[in-house]
């Protein structure tokens, strides 16, 4: 088993900011495996259709052992697969692919990874802010204050779907804000069908200054858009002249740069804020375990991620800046 070889990769567009190769190569090396993890930049479909089909054929043949999927293909790739897991089907997005006999299976590890990292973040943020997972205290009104926690999710793409899925399961009231309101409305409609008894917990609004200004009581703000990535690091999905809600905590799924403009703005305002680095590593660990069937070396993967970004990891479980 120690000499087993794995050829893995990531498809998306663009991929210049990705640190996934460093994370997965560290995992392979730590477990004594040979192999590699490559970036496969594939343009948005239908332009990238031929490249995508060729790459999936390599997975089907066994030349590639697994793929991660990122923007803009998390939803578009589903028709190319033979099957998706229950989670991926409900979320409506795929971020990892594996082969089962001669079938290509799509799964979504973003949702469980977001839950794990958000819990860790809120537990730490809760040391100085009263933010909790609603369902953790549903039998203790004195701890939750008797008020449903509200989350504002910026974006309505594949990453946002994983976030909404997780928060719905945990009892949050959710507002989805998107510049493309029809996309947000479609997300809400589809999730209403999956969570028939919880549809009143979910609504959509246009993502503009006037609508965001009206949201005054928000416990959690999640950026699930790519705005603020390294290629446009001085950009933020939040209007520059609109103060963030006092008492909110901020979770930015963007992890590169290691401190996005949104996170920096929140911290300067005295709010707890983090990037999605912890989520990235957790979903990478889940994918690694699916592909190799061995436990992922999470400590080594965290270290490789932080080294790639020029950060130092506190191995007690929190990142500097929490």
Question: Which segments within the chain are labelled E, that is strand?
Answer: 5-12, 34-41, 66-69, 83-84, 96-100, 103-107, 150-154, 173-178, 202-206, 220-223, 249-252, 273-275, 313-314, 318-319
Band (1; pLDDT cuts 50, 70, 90): very low
**Domain CATH number, residue 29:** 3.40.50.10860
Together in a domain, 124 and 253: yes
Band (278; pLDDT cuts 50, 70, 90): very high
Together in a domain, 91 and 118: no
Together in a domain, 147 and 209: yes
- Measured at the CA of 18, the angle between CA 16 and CA 21, to 5 degrees, comes to 115
Q: What is the pLDDT of residues 95-153, one digit of tens each?
A: 999 999 989 999 999 999 999 999 999 888 774 444 556 665 444 434 444 456 899 99
Band (216; pLDDT cuts 50, 70, 90): confident
Together in a domain, 202 and 310: no
Together in a domain, 257 and 194: yes
Together in a domain, 262 and 315: no
Together in a domain, 249 and 269: yes
Q: Residue range 22-39: average pLDDT?
A: 97
Together in a domain, 101 and 155: no
Strand partners, 67: 9, 97
Q: What is the pLDDT of residues 157-184, one digit of tens each?
A: 999 999 999 999 888 999 999 999 999 9
**Please, what is the angle between helix 20-30 and helix 298-309, to 10°?**
140
Looking at residue 124, its pLDDT comes to 81
Count of domains forming the chain: 2
Band (221; pLDDT cuts 50, 70, 90): very high
Cα–Cα distances (Å) from 28 to 33, 218, 232, 263, in that order, read 5, 41, 31, 32
Is this model's pTM higher than 0.85 or not? yes
Beginning with the edge strand found earlier in the chain, give each strand of the sheet holding 103-107 in spatial order.
Answer: 34-41, 5-12, 66-69, 96-100, 103-107, 83-84
Q: Are strands 96-100 and 103-107 parallel, antiparallel or unpaired?
A: antiparallel
Together in a domain, 129 and 250: yes
Question: Any idea which residues carry the catalytic annotation?
Answer: 74
Q: Residue range 194-201: average pLDDT?
A: 66
Contact call for residues 204 and 153 (beta carbons, < 8 A) = no
Together in a domain, 84 and 129: no
Together in a domain, 236 and 306: no
pLDDT at 197 over 70: no
Its domain, for residue 268, covers: 111-276
Together in a domain, 60 and 177: no
Looking at residue 246, its pLDDT comes to 86
**Domain CATH number, residue 136:** 3.40.50.720
């Amino acid at each position: 088993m120690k000499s087993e070889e794995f050829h893995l990769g990531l498809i998306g567009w663009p991929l210049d900011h990705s640190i996934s190769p460093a994370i997965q190569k560290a995992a392979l090396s730590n477990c004594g495996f040979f192999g590699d993890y490559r970036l496969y930049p594939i343009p948005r479909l239908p332009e990238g259709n031929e490249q995508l089909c060729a790459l999936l054929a390599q997975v089907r043949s066994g030349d590639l052992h697994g793929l991660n999927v990122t923007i803009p293909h998390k939803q578009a790739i589903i028709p190319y697969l033979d099957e998706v897991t229950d989670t991926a089907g409900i979320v409506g997005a795929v971020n990892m692919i594996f082969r089962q006999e001669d079938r290509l299976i799509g799964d979504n590890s973003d949702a469980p990874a977001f839950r794990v990292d958000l819990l860790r973040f809120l537990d730490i943020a809760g040391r100085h802010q009263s933010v909790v997972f609603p369902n953790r205290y549903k039998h203790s009104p004195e701890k939750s204050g008797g008020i449903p926690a509200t989350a504002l999710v910026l974006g309505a793409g594949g990453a946002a779907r994983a976030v909404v899925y997780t928060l719905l399961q945990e009892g949050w009231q959710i507002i989805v804000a998107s510049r493309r309101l029809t996309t947000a409305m479609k997300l809400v409609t589809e999730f209403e069908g999956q969570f028939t008894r919880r549809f009143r917990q979910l609504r959509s609004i246009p993502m503009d200054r006037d609508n965001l200004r009206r949201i005054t009581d928000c416990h959690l703000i999640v950026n699930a858009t790519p705005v603020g990535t390294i290629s446009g690091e001085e950009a933020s999905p939040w209007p520059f002249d609109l103060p963030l809600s006092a008492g909110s905590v901020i979770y930015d799924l963007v992890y590169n740069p290691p401190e996005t403009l949104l996170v920096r703005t929140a911290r300067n305002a005295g709010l707890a804020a983090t990037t999605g680095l912890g989520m990235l590593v957790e979903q990478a660990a889940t994918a690694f375990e699916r592909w190799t069937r061995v436990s992922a070396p999470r400590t080594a993967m965290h270290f490789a991620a932080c080294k790639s970004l020029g950060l130092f990891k506190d191995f007690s479980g929190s990142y500097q800046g929490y």
